[in-house]
Amino acid sequence: MLAVNDLWVSAYLVSSGAELHGLRVSGFGGKRSVSFLFDGNEAERLQRHFVSGRAVANVTQLKATMNHLKDLLFNELRKETENENQSGNYRASAAG
């Protein structure tokens, strides 16, 4: 499983045909980071192309993919925040 923290690399991978398998949120509170999870050799090959400067992409498709990934990212962060708030509320009410 390839975990990518860079939004631009992730958008390039998806717009070039790599399959996004999910997102992983790590950290807590204001110190969160999101990794986009890819599987397979194709994603690794495409990542090497991006890093080496050999990446070529359809800019319109790349922009649409970037917007889609941002939506996924912020939805996931909202869910994590809601879960933290519910856990915190539960702990506060259980203690009181």
Encode pLDDT of 26-38 as tens digits: 887 678 889 999 9
Beta partners for 23?
Answer: 36
Q: What per-residue confidence (pLDDT) applies to 87?
A: 72
Q: Confidence band (pLDDT; 50, 70, 90) for 55?
A: very high
- Give the end-to-end CA distance of the chain in Å, rounded to a whole number: 43
For residue 25, count CB atoms less than 10 angstroms from its CB and return exposed for 0-12, middle for 13-18, buried for 19 or more: middle
Q: List strand residue ranges (DSSP E) for the chain, in order.
A: 2-4, 20-26, 33-38
SS3 for 90? Answer: helix
Please indicate, yes or no, if residue 96 is contained in any of the structural domains: no
Q: What per-residue confidence (pLDDT) applies to 79?
A: 87
User: Minimal CA–CA distance to 34: which of 5, 7, 3, 69?
Assistant: 5
Whole-number Cα distances in Å, 93 to 79, 83, 85, 87 = 21, 15, 12, 10
Split into its structural domains, the chain has a count of: 1
Please indicate, yes or no, if residue 95 is contained in any of the structural domains: no
Range(s) of the domain holding residue 56: 2-90
pLDDT at 91 over 70: no
Q: What per-residue confidence (pLDDT) applies to 26?
A: 87
Q: List strand residue ranges (DSSP E) for 11-60, in order.
A: 20-26, 33-38
Please indicate, yes or no, if residue 62 is contained in any of the structural domains: yes
